[in-house]
Amino acid sequence: MIHVVKAEIKKKGNHILICGVLQKSLQHVMGSKMIITLKDGSKKEYEESKSVHDIALDISEGLARMACAGEVNGEVVDLRTVVDRDCELSILTANDEKGLAALRHTTSHVLAEAVKRLYPEAKLAIGPSIDTGFYYDFDHEPFSRDDLDNIEKEMKKIIKEGAKLEKFTLPRAEAIQFMEEKGEPYKVELIRDLPEDSIISFYRQGDFTDLCAGPHLMSTKSIKAFKLTSSSGAYWRGNEKNKMLARIYGTAFAKKDELNAYLLQMEEAKKRDHNKLGREMELFTTVDVIGQGLPLIMPKGVTIIQTLQRWIEDEEEKRGYVRTKTPLMAKSDLYKISGHWDHYKDGMFVLGDEEKDDEVFALRPMTCPFQYYVYKASQKSYRDLPLRYGETSTLFRNEESGEMHGLTRVRQFTISEGHLIMTPEQIHEEFKGCVNLALYCLKTLGLENDVTYRLSKWDPNNTEKYIGDAAYWEESQGVMREMLLELGLPFVEADGEAAFYGPKLDIQAKNVYGKEDTMITIQLDFALAEQFDMYYVDKDGEKKRPFIIHRTSMGCYERTLAWLIEKYAGKFPTWLCPEQVRVLPISEKYHDYAKKVEDQLKLNGIRCTTDERSEKIGYKIREARLDKVPYMLVVGAKEEEDGVVSVRSRFKGDEGQKALDTFIDDICKEIRTKEIRKIEVED
């Protein structure tokens, strides 16, 4: 009798562990052939069971050498998996995302083995593949760059040894004993969290064994190109209350030229990293005594954010929004009505003690319940709807320490927040208007090709996180899906990413290192009007509950600034630049004319300065370019005599002489239209 594992798969930490009871499958009728349908539609027939690797070998030896994993009927499996029935099979190589993940996961095991060889006292935690490569966490003192270089050398030795990876399973009790004997407390903790009847999988490579469900390569020798890129600290299980572990990041590819291209890309990413470049440009800074996740926006950064804010507020006014200004904190009573106290309290800054104080306050993590009371201040009719409330809102969220990063993940931030209150008949048109506003913002900033769209749904397996029942969620998610299809947006769907009260359209973007963040969000809410007793009087004279859309037009200003720094490497479009023009007199004799030019520019609303230092003009030009100023106006005897300026720009270099009025007209048009000029010269 042929047996297969029919298993419930549970994700724990960064390992997927096999749980449940082994169940027998029906044996193929003796003599019947097994038909395997391959990715290209062709079919292979076998009279007996075969592993995925054997099937790959039967197709071609070259494919078998390149194979990293298999995909059987849509499920990624190990190359050792035995196929014993008709199925659809794809042989995954490193050219496939899932195959590359298997290669990188195997490399993380080689990393763990190398660390255990060099530092036997280190304790193993978790080591998954990630979008950019892999990492492994160790209970060990921090690793230096020299340490990483030594670990790399040891990894190369392990790869050269070419040990085969062998999978085996143990019952939960035996698995615990196995890891206790190896002195691996973090692995023991992971196993103890599983049901008692779990069957736990391991992979062995030579003398090294790790807790893992795979999939993995057949041998360490198949790893051809890898690099350990950095090290950092990471809390065990991402909880700041747990011990800080030492994390090693790395990446791996099938070919060395792919690795080299990636490393070159990462070097470029470091130059664009907003956390580095934003500080160098004096756009923002952070100070330990002020606190993590509480950036100080410096004058140049404030100029950019103010420019964005004025633009957004004016644009929203054109689109029928009315503005509110609401408190930065409220009593816990407000958040209990909205449901945030039950569903979001851990993410809030609470002021006071519920057991000791008569009144407990909390800094607001959102503006919606405040604006609902603006709505409720007077009776509304269907004629008053839709109502579009907008607010430039400063919000506070108690993010985990390990999640903080520059301007993209902070504890205090400002957002272009809005809430639209409407009748059911108005949902489609108002949702479409929110999407159009978001797309307009993205296009104006030059970011429309840098985003993806996600329908964020509830998690039906974790319903306590949400309000409403399954019927509510299926209906609201269905409405949003229908509207997205009508708009023709290419979107993916993701469980567990919804707000606790409704589904969201999340507009996602990646930073220079490939980490994805939500930039803009549009949320449907069919529930909170009931909790806040919001109503309008319909044309039939009856009281009805309105529907609500929560949305941002551009999102968080701090995160957008980070995004723009990385997108443009600090060379912002002229309308956003803190300094748009720098006047460069050739010598002191022309300071008076330079001052007249500067005054005329400022009179037209152009942000400019004059460099009056006693330096050579070439040096001044280089300094202005390093400061990423889009325009430099050189003035000397000829310019003063003719009433002109010599224009140099980051776009074309030397643009020749222009009448001052002509230059002002040109740059004012560029600023007014928010033009994004193409840079045609290199620094």
* pLDDT tens digit sequence for 538-556: 999 999 999 999 999 999 9
Residues 6 or more apart from 665 whose CB is under 8 A from it?
Answer: none
pLDDT of res. 162 = 93
Confidence of residue 28 (pLDDT cuts 50, 70, 90): very low
Of 16 and 358, the structure prediction assigns the larger pLDDT to 358
pLDDT at 409 over 80: yes
What is the spatial distance between Cα 251 and Cα 369, in angstroms, rounded to a whole number? Answer: 45
pLDDT at 25 over 60: no
Phi, psi of 544, rounded to the nearest 5 degrees: -130, 150
CATH superfamily of 572-671: Anticodon-binding domain (3.40.50.800)
| pLDDT over 70, % of the chain | 95
Lowest-confidence pick of 21-25, 164-168, 651-655: 21-25
* pLDDT tens digit sequence for 624-658: 999 999 999 999 999 999 999 999 999 999 999 99
pLDDT of res. 241 = 82
pLDDT at 56 over 80: yes
Confidence of residue 530 (pLDDT cuts 50, 70, 90): very high
pLDDT at 557 over 90: yes
pLDDT of res. 683 = 62
What is the spatial distance between Cα 556 and Cα 552, in angstroms, rounded to a whole number? Answer: 8
pLDDT at 12 over 60: no
pTM to 2 decimal places: 0.80
Residues facing 24 on adjacent strands? 3
The torsion defined by the Cα of 276, 277, 279 and 283, in degrees rounded to 10, comes to -150
pLDDT of res. 239 = 78
pLDDT of res. 414 = 97
pLDDT of res. 16 = 38
pLDDT of res. 481 = 95
83-102 average pLDDT score: 94
CB–CB of 259/253 below 8 Å?
Answer: yes
pLDDT at 402 over 60: yes
pLDDT at 188 over 60: yes
* pLDDT tens digit sequence for 577-614: 999 999 999 999 999 999 999 999 999 999 999 999 99
Residues 6 or more apart from 14 whose CB is under 8 A from it?
Answer: 126, 127, 128
pLDDT of res. 399 = 86
What is the spatial distance between Cα 369 and Cα 144, in angstroms, rounded to a whole number? Answer: 49
What is the spatial distance between Cα 80 and Cα 215, in angstroms, rounded to a whole number? Answer: 9
Burial class (CB in 10 A: 0-12, 13-18, 19+), 318: exposed
What is the DSSP code (8-state) at residue 499? B
Domain span(s) for CATH 3.30.930.10 in the chain: 286-566
Of 20 and 635, the structure prediction assigns the larger pLDDT to 635
132-160 average pLDDT score: 96
Long-range CB contacts for residues 600-606, cutoff 8 Å, separation at least 24: 600/660, 600/664, 601/664, 604/664, 604/668, 605/668, 605/671, 606/580, 606/581, 606/664, 606/667, 606/668, 606/671
State both tokens at 536.
Answer: 């309008």
Domain span(s) for CATH 3.10.20.30 in the chain: 32-92
Confidence of residue 27 (pLDDT cuts 50, 70, 90): very low
Lowest-confidence pick of 236-240, 337-341, 380-384, 438-442: 236-240
CATH architecture of the domain formed by 32-92: Roll (3.10)
pLDDT of res. 344 = 84
Which amino acid, one-letter code, is at 249?
Answer: Y
Of 595 and 8, the structure prediction assigns the larger pLDDT to 595
Most confident of 333-342, 384-393, 471-480, 522-531: 384-393
pLDDT at 151 over 90: yes
Domain span(s) for CATH 3.40.50.800 in the chain: 572-671
pLDDT of res. 18 = 37
CB atoms within 10 A of CB 394: 15
Q: What is the mean pLDDT of the chain?
A: 91
pLDDT at 222 over 60: yes
pLDDT at 31 over 80: no
Residue 451: which of 403, 517, 532 has the closest Cα? 517
Of 111 and 404, the structure prediction assigns the larger pLDDT to 111
pLDDT of res. 244 = 93
Burial class (CB in 10 A: 0-12, 13-18, 19+), 391: buried
CATH pick for 96-254 out of 3.40.50.980, 3.40.190.10, 3.40.50.720, 3.30.980.10: 3.30.980.10
Domain span(s) for CATH 3.30.980.10 in the chain: 96-254
Confidence of residue 14 (pLDDT cuts 50, 70, 90): very low
CB atoms within 10 A of CB 10: 16
What is the spatial distance between Cα 377 and Cα 385, in angstroms, rounded to a whole number? Answer: 15
| pLDDT over 90, % of the chain | 82
> Can you spell out the DSSP letters for 569-600?
TT---GGG-S--EEEEESSGGGHHHHHHHHHH
Annotated binding site for Zn(2+): 368, 419, 550
297-323 average pLDDT score: 97
* pLDDT tens digit sequence for 423-454: 999 999 999 999 999 999 999 999 999 999 99
Of 108 and 30, the structure prediction assigns the larger pLDDT to 108
pLDDT of res. 6 = 33
80-100 average pLDDT score: 93
pLDDT at 30 over 90: no
The torsion defined by the Cα of 169, 173, 175 and 181, in degrees rounded to 10, comes to -150
What is the residue whose two structure tokens read 């060099």? 118
pLDDT of res. 680 = 83
Of 65 and 7, the structure prediction assigns the larger pLDDT to 65
Annotated binding site: 368, 419, 550
Residues 6 or more apart from 634 whose CB is under 8 A from it?
Answer: 584, 586, 617, 621, 645, 646, 647, 648
448-467 average pLDDT score: 91
486-508 average pLDDT score: 93
CATH superfamily of 286-566: Bira Bifunctional Protein; Domain 2 (3.30.930.10)
Sign of CA dihedral 23, 28, 34, 35: negative
Residues 6 or more apart from 436 whose CB is under 8 A from it?
Answer: none
pLDDT at 617 over 80: yes
